[in-house]
Chains A and B, each alone.
Chain A
Amino acid sequence: MSTAQTLIELAARRHGADASRLRPQDDMFEKLGIDSFQAAELMSEVELEFDVEIPDYELQGIRTFAALAAKIDARR
């Protein structure tokens, strides 16, 4: 499974969304309807799931599952 798809399933599970309706190019904050606190928690879950650490400043402007997946892959 691609990183983007694993990410979509993790985020959908965490926020009660239907993974089959999410696409890699979707804006994850809009699609999941999450606030700043949930975004911080989601980053912790992503780091634990993929065993990576992604500094916050590398996330500036990242809004899609695909873009976040690329950041994850770059850190693995």
Chain B
Amino acid sequence: MVDGVTWTLEGGVYELTLARPPCNEIGTATLAGLEQFLDAIAVDDAHALIIRSAVRGGFCAGADLRELHAGLVATPEAEAAPQLAAFLDRIHAVMDRLDTLPLTTIAVIHGVCFGGGLELALTADVRIAEKTARFGFPELRLGVIPGFGGVPRMRRELGDALPRDLLLTGRTINAKRAHGVGLVSQCVPTGEGLVAARALAAQIGKFDPVARVAAKRFLKVIPVEELAREKRLFLELAVRPPLRAALDRFVRSQDVRPYLP
């Protein structure tokens, strides 16, 4: 297993635990861990998957901006786009595989769930948020759009209004608001997210497996064309100077709220 991405299987329920400090930023290591998990799991032995974080800061703070910055600094500009495209292809493949697993998938969210972290959470069938969770797409402050499939998936789940609000304002919202608009299915007290997810996974285990998988396939279709458009637009924006400049500011920032524009 990759350090920081571990999993268990007990009673037909996989628990995938992200534990990479500071807040499960998604770079090459976390991506490799997710790929290993997806290659290793035996879906016939399970009915549910719980995705959770074991770090205090939250579910996931998004893409690993420090790694992205280091990569862009070390790469000639002409090679940046193909390298980013290859990384995006791997990320999208992982997100699509998580999205379509023949298991009922539950994300347990506490604390920060920003950018790529929210995009990861949006692959889940059900999201359970602890009340101090916070959600947002801060990508515009970097001069890009979310690139891991988040906007098409949020539009699929919720329609246009919330993704437009979060992306175009860069603001973040709390768990109560996320529950109110249907972004999360359950809002529970702090520390109770995993308890609620395990109870839900146990309930899902009582359902007929053929009907369970068929229902998910019926209700959850990957927005293929929109994801491809998102990837193209992300890459067009990511090779422009504002991303490098914003990443420079981010890695040098000592601000307690570096995600603010």
Contacts and interface: CB of A to CB of B under 8 A. Distances in A.
- Whether A and B are associated in the same complex: the answer reads yes
Interface of A: 29, 34-41, 43-45, 47-48, 53, 55-57, 59-60
Contact of B172 (A35, A38, A40, A60): A40
Given A35-B256, A36-B258, A43-B134, 11 more contacts: A35-B22, A36-B257, A36-B259, A37-B58, A40-B134, A41-B134, A43-B174, A44-B132, A44-B175, A48-B176, A53-B174
A59 to B, nearest CB: 7
In the A-B complex, the 8 residue pairs with the smallest Cβ-Cβ separation, listed nearest first, are A37-B57, A44-B174, A55-B171, A41-B132, A44-B132, A29-B256, A40-B134, A56-B171
Interface residues of B, number: 29
Contacts of B169: 55, 57
Contacts of A29: 256
Contacts of A47: 174, 176
A38 B22 CA distance: 12
Interface SS of chain A: helix
Nearest to A28: B256
A40 B260 contact: no
B220 interface: no
Contacts of A43: 134, 172, 174
B133 A44 contact: yes
A56 B112 contact: no
20 contacts: A36-B256, A36-B259, A37-B56, A38-B57, A40-B58, A40-B111, A40-B257, A41-B58, A41-B111, A41-B112, A41-B134, A45-B132, A47-B176, A48-B176, A55-B171, A56-B257, A56-B261, A57-B169, A57-B171, A60-B260
A41 B258 CA distance: 14
A2 to B, nearest CB: 23
Contacts of A53: 173-174, 177
A56 B136 contact: yes
Most chain A CB neighbours (cut-off 10 Å) among B171, B174, B258: B174
Contact of A48 (B58, B174, B259): B174
A57 B259 CA distance: 10
